[in-house]
Structure 1
Amino acid sequence: MTICFGFAQNTNSENSKDPSYNEMENTIEIKDSSFVIAADPKEVYTGLFKDGEPYEGYFKSEDDEIFWVELYQQGKKIQQYSFDILKLLKKMESEDFIGNERFVLDQNGEYRDEKAFNGYFISQVGNGFLTKTYKDGKTTKIVGDMFAMHYYNRYTAELRGKDIFFSYTEAPDSALRIFSKNAKTYIEILVNNKVVGDNHFSYDAILQMQPDFVLKAFKINGQIIGVSTSKDIDFDSHQSMFMLFQRFAVSSQLNSFKYDEPSDILDNLLEILFEEDTDEFDDAKIIAFLTSDEKGAIENGIIWEEENGDQGIYKIYKDGKVIKEGMSTLNDFQNLKYEDLFEFE
């Protein structure tokens, strides 16, 4: 995939020159001056292929506008050098951006036994790029830069203690917190640092609403997930984070993890976002859509509560009173035209 930023690359690159071939040793030497490594500045970087494989020196991942460089010694990867994609995008928008300067690779990653051990490592995943930060061989942070036509967004998943916090640039006031409790994986959604929903809702939580709140709850694969937000929060402005919360909450891959080590989940979190094609949320069944008054009592809305097997009782509220109730299966409950009975504020 080529990401077109619309600026010229450095014209001093020697990639276009014919590589130097040594037939006796079966080696090919390449040269590149399109980038400069901040920790190891050179005018020209050379790399030696032996028997068709990288053997010694510097090797660019591909001749593209987003790339990284691997340093090899005697056929083994020693270092990876890269740059921060978002930093580059911001630089491009600045008035002093020239456009034909060499790429500066100021992120370093150290390999141990050819495995990522310390520092930054970038790779391409789907329509984006992942930059993982390692400390002593364990992942501590993942940054995902996603691209589409006229679209860019950055996702960040970071380990804080034993909890994982997930955020992205389009929704700076909201975040997800992923943690372990009673051998289960919990996911909470936070808006302005306040918990407004999680993936282990209960009917008690539904019936004990906070004052002036809006609540939505669903049943998916036997578990209840819900979102409860203050009426003064603009739900639409956080809609994309709520959708991500729902996707993570129903992910069979995420819920199957054993939380022995938080990095086990962190290592796979953004791969789920980038690669997992799930239709699990299509099976979600709404069980509550309610608003509360200034005292926390149910004001308007509808709720279904299981009674016996797949049968349950539903109630429709308006202005604090039950205006309709009856028995229904959860499937039939989905077809009730309750929106026509009242208007949510």
Structure 2
Amino acid sequence: MVFGQNENSSTSTEKNIESGSTYKKYKNGKLDSIIVTMAAVNYGNALLFSKSNDEIRITNVADKNSVITIVLKNKKQIRTLFYKQQPAVIVENIDFDIENLPKSSVISSLISDNMVFSNTYISNDKIFGDDFPDKTFKLFHGLRVRPDLDNLDAIFENIGDFFSEEDALLKIFYGRYAEKFAPQVLAFLKTDASGKIKDGIFMDFKNKNINEKNNYNIYKNGKIIKSGAENLSKFQNIYMEYREKADLNQ
């Protein structure tokens, strides 16, 4: 549905999606703001998206303490979840080079829609205390933005496209359904102060056919403790088993 145009060349559209509606406002032909209303009570009531010259800002009306921002640094996306004005989680897109990794970092490499992308992950979740913002946290991690986009207008349009999909809210908030659309893992690594791998798991994704095997290594205390070869699907099980054991040993 498209609403009327006024003297400021402003138009609005509405699209009904599963469990909600998406409203988009355009100014001079450019997407200016997005509102996603949510019918299911346990989701909250509305998500607000706005864009300035240097950031995209996302808020959940039901969560007054949290704000999500997306900014660009050297044409790479940085997504931050602020809680009470403090950065709680920061995800920064990077170019992955196994021989030149960021120092003292947690690094992930993922694949989604045949696109490989990597990021560093910084978390200070202790600041949440007993007031964990579950829905905003799910939005932060579940919002799908193409990682190759390097300007805010294109990123904002991509967010608008995502929330025009019939099942957009389900992909974020509905656990088992959302899991089906989560990116698949190629690497999860922790580096030391010199940028060397300290702990983690890494698949050398040279064979781009996801049904064919690729070599992988598991690291502990700077050494490879296990190597093997599997296809991408079976590697996900190996990764999950690794993470479960790592969490138990913390």
Distance between the aligned counterparts of 2:117 and 2:29, measured in 1? 34
Counterpart amino acid of residue 167 in structure 1: I
Contact 1:118 1:134 in 2 (8 A): yes
Shift of 1:298: 2.2
- Count of residues in Structure 1 that have an aligned counterpart in Structure 2: 218
Tell me which residue corresponds to 2:189: 290
The answer to whether residue 212 in structure 2 is matched with residue 302 in structure 1 is: no
Is contact 2:96–2:118 with CA below 8 Å preserved after alignment?
no
Native 8 Å contact 1:285 1:334 kept in 2:
yes
CA drift at 1:325: 1.9
Match of 1:175 in 2: 69
- Between 1 and 2, higher relative CO (CA 8 Å, sep ≥ 6) is seen in 2
Q: CA 1:239 to 1:271, structure 2 compared with 1: closer, same or farther past 3 Å?
A: same
Q: Measure the CA separation in 2 of the matches of 1:296 and 1:231.
A: 19
Matches within 5 A, 1:194-343: 196-198=91-93, 202-204=95-97, 208-211=101-104, 213-233=105-125, 239-245=137-143, 247-249=144-146, 262=154, 265=158, 268-272=161-165, 282=180, 284-308=183-207, 310-336=212-238, 337-339=241-243, 342-343=246-247
User: Counterpart amino acid of 1:240?
Assistant: K
Q: Is the 8 A contact 2:107 2:118 kept in 1?
A: yes
Distance 1:329 1:207, change over 3 A: farther
Per-residue Cα deviation, 1:65-104 (whole angstroms, up to 9, x for no partner) = xxxxxxxxxxxx9xx8xxxxxxxxxxxxxxxxxxxxxxxx
Matches of 2:235 and 2:42 in 1, distance apart?
A: 41
2:5 to 86, 95, 111: 111
Runs of 4+ in 1 over 6 A off after TM superposition: 276-281
CA contact (8 A) 1:218 1:226 kept: yes
For residues 244 and 122 of structure 2, the distance between their equivalents in structure 1, rounded to whole angstroms, comes to 23
- For the Cα contact (< 8 Å) 1:303–1:315, is it kept in 2? yes
SS in 1 for 2:198: strand
Paired residue secondary structure (2:39): strand
Provide the alpha-carbon RMSD of the alignment: 4.4
Percent of aligned positions that are identical: 19
Contact 1:290 / 1:298 at 8 angstroms: preserved in 2?
yes
The answer as to 2:16 corresponding to 1:125 is: yes
Larger Rg: 1
Higher strand share: 1
For normalisation by structure 2, the TM-score amounts to 0.62
- Inter-partner Cα distance in structure 2 for 1:178 and 1:156: 20
Alpha-carbon distance between aligned partners in 2 of 1:276 and 1:206, rounded to the nearest angstrom? 39
Structure number with the higher helix fraction is 2
Q: Partners of 1:339 and 1:124 in 2: how far apart?
A: 39
Q: Retained in 2: the 8 A contact 1:117–1:136? A: yes
Instruction: Return closer, same or farther for 1:210/1:175 CA change in 2, 3 Å cut-off.
Output: farther
Determine the C-alpha separation between the residues in 1 that align with 2:101 and 2:81. 20
Contact 1:298/1:317 (8 A) holds in 2: yes
TM-score, normalization by structure 1: 0.48
Q: Who is 2:80 aligned against?
A: 190
Indicate yes or no: 2:64 matched with 1:165: no
Q: Give the letter aligned to residue 97 of structure 2.
A: D
Q: Which whole-Å deviations, capped at 9, do the CAs of 1:275-312 have from their partners, x for residues lacking one?
A: 58777973743111222335443222111113456442
